[in-house]
Amino acid sequence: MIPLEHVIGLSAILFVIGVAGVALRRNLIVVLMSIELMLNAVNLAFVGFNRLWPGTLDAPRLDGQVFVLMVITVAAAEVAVGLGIVISMFRNRDSVNLEDVSLLKW
């Protein structure tokens, strides 16, 4: 069995990659993908912990797994909105570069 440390470690690495992507990449689509990466890193952690505390045979614990389904649902909705914004932005600006949208400031 893969020890929990490995699962958490992978999750953390994925999450940091996601954070770095959001903070550093200029392309909005890549930023959205990085957000997905962060969400999935969390999902991994959820299932990993669920495996650590599976409950008994009579009363199995499914909290972590259910949460993963929740997160996937939310992520799907979020991507739909995010891609909508990307398309709208592309139509208006001919660009999906984040540096081109900085009008809302002092």
Partner 1 sequence: MNETHVLRWIVFLPLLAAIYHGLAIGLVRRSSDRRLVAVLSCGAVIGSFVLSCVALGKLVQIPRGPTRILFDDVYTWIGAGVSSTRFSAEFGFQLDPLSTVMILIVTFVGALIHIYSIGYMEDDHRDDKGFQRFFCYLNLFMFSMLVLVLADNVVLMFLGWEGVGLCSYLLIGFWYTDRHNAYCGSKAFIVNRIGDFAFLIGIFLLFSALAAAGSPVTTFREIAAAFDGIREATIAVPAWLPFGPEWPVVEVVAICFFIGACGKSAQLPLYVWLPDAMAGPTPVSALIHAATMVTAGVYMVCRFSFLYAAAPGASALVAWTGGLTALLAATIAIAQTDIKKVLAYSTVSQLGYMFLAAGCGGYSAAIFHLGTHAFFKALLFLGSGAVILAMHHEQDIRRMGGLKRLIPRTQWVFLIGVLAIAGFPGFSGFFSKDEILVWATQAPGGLWLYRIALGTAGLTAFYMVRLHCLTFLGEFRVAPNAREQVHEVGSVMLWPLYVLAFFSIFSGLFGFPQLWGDMLSVEKSDSLGRFLGPVLTAVEKHHLDHATELGMAGTAVAVAALGATLAWWLYVRRPELPERIAAALKGAHQLLVNKYYVDEIYDALIVRPLVAVSDRVLFRVVDAGIVDGAMVNGTARGVRALAAHGLKYAQSGFAQTYVFFMIAGAAAVVAYLVR
Q: Which residues bind partner 1 (CB under 8 A)?
A: 19, 22-24, 26, 98-99, 101-106
Provide the minimum distance between the beta carbon of 100 and partner 1 in the complex, in angstroms, as a whole number: 10
Which residue in the block uniquely carries the two structure tokens 């400031």? 105
Q: Between residues 30 and 51, which has the closer beta carbon with respect to partner 1?
A: 30
- Class of residue 67 by CB neighbours under 10 A (exposed 0-12, middle 13-18, buried 19+): middle
Token reading at 41: 């890193």
Report which residue type is found at 101.
V
Query: Which residue, 16 or 62, is less far from partner 1 as judged by CB?
Result: 16
CB of 49 to partner 1, least distance (A): 18
Q: Which residue has the tokens 């470690």?
A: 9
* Residue with smaller CB distance to partner 1, 16 or 76: 16
* Secondary structure letter of residue 97 according to DSSP: B
CB of 105: closest distance to partner 1 in angstroms? 3
Q: Residue 99 Cβ, how far from partner 1 at the closest point, in Å? A: 7
Select 91 or 105, whichever has its Cβ closest to partner 1. 105
Residue 70's identity, in one-letter code, is M
Cα of 74 vs its chain's centroid, Å:
10
